[in-house]
């Protein structure tokens, strides 16, 4: 039996790192981009473990819970509640899409990634979304 993938294959961590590289001035060298990218990697791992198939095993749930805990622990280092709020919405929106029988595409999470980048950069969400979209194209070579 083949398992249908239900979350994006493209790395949220890599996309966010690429988008943060392009930030102007000191913000581009800001350590928060790397921390958020690391937390996104854990969040994606947790999401993938929880929703890898229709019938998730107890082991997969434990792996997912551990990855979510690492994501929260990582993002908590920044002591910024706005990051946690956006990550919570990412999980909620992704889980909602799966509960409706859909798959989570990178486009579903693009606004959330833009919000996270906007917190770091201070840019408006539209400009941050442009940076995220450009990073998606770079990381996927336009395949997504």
pLDDT at 24 over 80: no
Q: Residue 3 and residue 113: Cα distance in Å, rounded? A: 27
pLDDT attached to residue 29 = 56
- What pTM was estimated for this model as a whole? 0.84
Q: What is the pLDDT averaged over residues 30-56? A: 83
Q: Residue 103 and residue 10: Cα distance in Å, rounded? A: 14
Selected residue with higher pLDDT from 93 and 27: 93
Dihedral of alpha carbons 112, 76, 7, 135, sign:
positive
* Look-up of token digits 């706005």: 82
Q: Residue 52 and residue 142: Cα distance in Å, rounded? A: 24
Per residue in 78-100, pLDDT tens?
Answer: 888 999 889 889 888 988 887 88
Q: What is the pLDDT averaged over residues 46-71? A: 78
For the chain, where are the alpha helices, taking DSSP H only? Answer: 12-21, 31-50, 58-76, 81-99, 106-121, 125-140
Closest among 140, 18, 132, 143 to 86, alpha carbons compared: 132
pLDDT at 107 over 60: yes
Q: Residue 118 and residue 128: Cα distance in Å, rounded? A: 6
Q: Residue 93 and residue 112: Cα distance in Å, rounded? A: 10
Instruction: Report the percent of the chain where pLDDT is more than 90.
Output: 35
Would you place residue 59 in the very low, low, confident or very high pLDDT band (cuts 50, 70, 90)? confident
pLDDT at 6 over 70: no
Q: What is the pLDDT averaged over residues 29-52? A: 85
Q: Across all residues in the chain, what is the average pLDDT?
A: 84
* Look-up of token digits 């899409």: 97
Q: What is the pLDDT averaged over residues 28-32? A: 70
pLDDT at 1 over 50: no
């Amino acid at each position: 039996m083949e398992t249908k993938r239900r979350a994006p294959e493209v790395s949220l961590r890599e996309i966010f790192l690429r988008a943060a590289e392009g930030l102007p001035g000191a913000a581009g060298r800001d350590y928060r981009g790397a921390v958020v990218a690391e937390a996104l990697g854990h969040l994606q791992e947790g999401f993938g473990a929880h929703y890898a198939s229709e019938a998730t095993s107890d082991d997969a749930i434990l792996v997912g819970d551990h990855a979510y805990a690492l994501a929260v622990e990582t993002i908590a280092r920044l002591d910024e509640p706005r990051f946690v709020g956006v990550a919570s919405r990412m999980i909620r929106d992704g889980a909602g899409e799966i509960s409706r029988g859909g798959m989570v595409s990178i486009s579903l999470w693009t606004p959330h990634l833009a919000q996270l980048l906007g917190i770091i950069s201070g840019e408006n969400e539209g400009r941050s979304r442009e940076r995220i979209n450009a990073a998606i194209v770079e990381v996927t070579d336009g395949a997504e």
